[in-house]
Amino acid sequence: MSAPTDPCAPLLARAEALLEDLSLHGVAAWKAAHGGAPAIGIMPVFAPRPLFEAIGVLPVNIYGGGDRVDVIKGDAYYQSYICHIPRSTIEMGLGGQLDALDGMVFPSTCDVIRNLSGMWRMLFPQKYSAYLDLPQTFEAPLGGLFYRHELSRIAAELVARGARPLDADRLREAIIVENRRRALLADLASLRAREPWRLKASEAYLLTRAGAVLPCAEHIELLEAFLAAAPERPVRAYDNVRVIVLGAFCEQPPIGLIRTLERSGCDLVDDDFQLGLCAIDGAIPLDEDVGDQSPLDTHDPLDALVLSYTLRGQATATRYIADGVKGEALVNRVRTLGAEGVILAAPSFCDPALLDQPMIEQALNDAGIPFTSFKYAENSAQFQTIREQAGAFSDSVKLWGAA
């Protein structure tokens, strides 16, 4: 008897092909179909995609070369004790793989991204290059207005290079479409948490990451098609340990590493891999009363975009949380999802993730939540030790642990 077919297989294959399209052929095709409209690369972690879509620009999240780019020239630009993503990004730029892009935006994630923005400006002076300073104070009259100015500046610079003028109606429409995507991503997350054998972490990763290179409306079609077909998938439940992965928000682990974790007896019920698409809690608050006596108003779509970040940005290593407690959001997430443990997975030499780790570990210890940790690089090729470590962790949680 032949095995039942998986109706989601073609959708997952398409998402994986997008992940492997390192030379951005899909982006070049989009540009050709849109009269040469600009496409702009966005480095991790976060820049608001609706702003770009509203001015007719395709935002393309760039995550370096993963495990499929041999870094030769890129190594010459960085000392050895720096993470891998800037090296492979430079390598791709110099090798012409990012030629489909008309420019790059570098959000203020960390010093490495800041340095990369300066190098980019020197290496590719003919291309647009912008440093996006995200606020670290979130009161509307300070960080809010500052961030609004940053977004207006970048939009104006892109308009001067051929983008459409920023128009309130088009921005409002882009936010509505983005909110639809956000609702679908929430549905995806909920399905995965409920039935991790129906939607594995590696599959959720591919489906989410497809949004890094697709226009929002096309990503919505992909997500809707998957969610409609998912109930028909032939699946088998496993008695795995439910874990959350944290720390992999910028340089991405190879997809093979995520699959290795799945094979080690862990159901990864949540992660921060694609934080750039998910960095806001809930919807962008369009026409909502956000209870903010401030100069910003969600009836103005640009203000709404600003307030979504200042009021609803998720707690991450790259965001100042003032009086908040590091790790508290993670502990709450563990409780909400019924997770039994946490895997702290950070890129080697990633300051934001690794400087947070002791405080996160303290919070997990205080809450009695088991955890393990390892480091990786985007081009890691040997997963056996990680498989053994994660396997031993899942066994120990099953035998002795309880979150």
Among the candidate windows 107-115, 119-127, 276-284, 385-393, which touches ligand SF4 by CB under 6 A? 107-115
Residue 345 sits in the site that holds ligand SF4 (CB under 6 A): no
Characterize 278-298 residue by residue with b for buried, 16 or more Cβ atoms within 10 angstroms of its Cβ, and e for exposed. Answer: bbbeebbbbeeebebebebeb
Residue 347 sits in the site that holds ligand SF4 (CB under 6 A): yes
What is each CA distance from 179 to 191, 216, 237, 280, in whole angstroms? 18, 10, 32, 11
What is the Cα–Cα distance from 260 to 19, expressed in whole angstroms? 18
Among the candidate windows 196-204, 230-238, 347-355, 389-397, which touches ligand SF4 by CB under 6 A? 347-355
Judged by CB under 6 A, the residue of 62, 112, 166, 329 near ligand SF4 is: 112
What is the Cα–Cα distance from 87 to 370, expressed in whole angstroms? 34
What is the Cα–Cα distance from 240 to 267, expressed in whole angstroms? 6
* Alpha helix positions (H), 300-383: 301-312, 328-337, 351-367
Smaller CB separation from ligand SF4, 284 or 350: 350
Judged by CB under 6 A, the residue of 179, 352, 360, 403 near ligand SF4 is: 352
Judged by CB under 6 A, the residue of 173, 218, 351, 395 near ligand SF4 is: 351
Smaller CB separation from ligand SF4, 177 or 350: 350
CB of 86 to ligand SF4, least distance (A): 6
Helices vs. strands in the chain: H and E counts, helices first = 15, 8
What is the Cα–Cα distance from 312 to 290, expressed in whole angstroms? 10
For 390, the enclosing helix (H) or strand (E) is helix 384-399
- Where do we find the tokens 């570098």? 106
Among the candidate windows 257-265, 343-351, 381-389, 395-403, which touches ligand SF4 by CB under 6 A? 343-351
Judged by CB under 6 A, the residue of 40, 42, 54, 85 near ligand SF4 is: 85
Residue 91 sits in the site that holds ligand SF4 (CB under 6 A): no
Smaller CB separation from ligand SF4, 120 or 393: 120
Smaller CB separation from ligand SF4, 201 or 353: 353
What is the Cα–Cα distance from 58 to 37, expressed in whole angstroms? 8
- Where do we find the tokens 């959708």? 11
- Using CB atoms within 10 A of its CB, is residue 395 exposed (0-12), middle (13-18) or buried (19+)? middle
CB of 187 to ligand SF4, least distance (A): 28
Among the candidate windows 105-113, 142-150, 223-231, 297-305, which touches ligand SF4 by CB under 6 A? 105-113
Phi, psi angles (nearest 5°) of residue 232: -90, 0
Characterize 51-88 residue by residue with b for buried, 16 or more Cβ atoms within 10 angstroms of its Cβ, and e for exposed. Answer: bbbbbbbbbbbbbbbbbebebeebeebbeeebbbbbbb
| Residue 359, token pair as written in the block | 């405080």
Judged by CB under 6 A, the residue of 51, 250, 390, 397 near ligand SF4 is: 250
Smaller CB separation from ligand SF4, 82 or 174: 82
Amino acid occupying residue 288: E
Among the candidate windows 95-103, 301-309, 350-358, 384-392, which touches ligand SF4 by CB under 6 A? 350-358
Judged by CB under 6 A, the residue of 61, 97, 109, 264 near ligand SF4 is: 109
Residue 350 sits in the site that holds ligand SF4 (CB under 6 A): yes
Among the candidate windows 129-137, 213-221, 238-246, 345-353, which touches ligand SF4 by CB under 6 A? 345-353
Residue 75 sits in the site that holds ligand SF4 (CB under 6 A): no
Mask 8-47, x = binds ligand SF4 (CB under 6 A)?
------------------------------------x---
| Residue 104, token pair as written in the block | 């790059």
Among the candidate windows 9-17, 153-161, 293-301, 348-356, which touches ligand SF4 by CB under 6 A? 348-356
Binding site for ligand SF4 (CB under 6 A): 44, 83, 85, 109-110, 112-113, 250-251, 347, 350-353
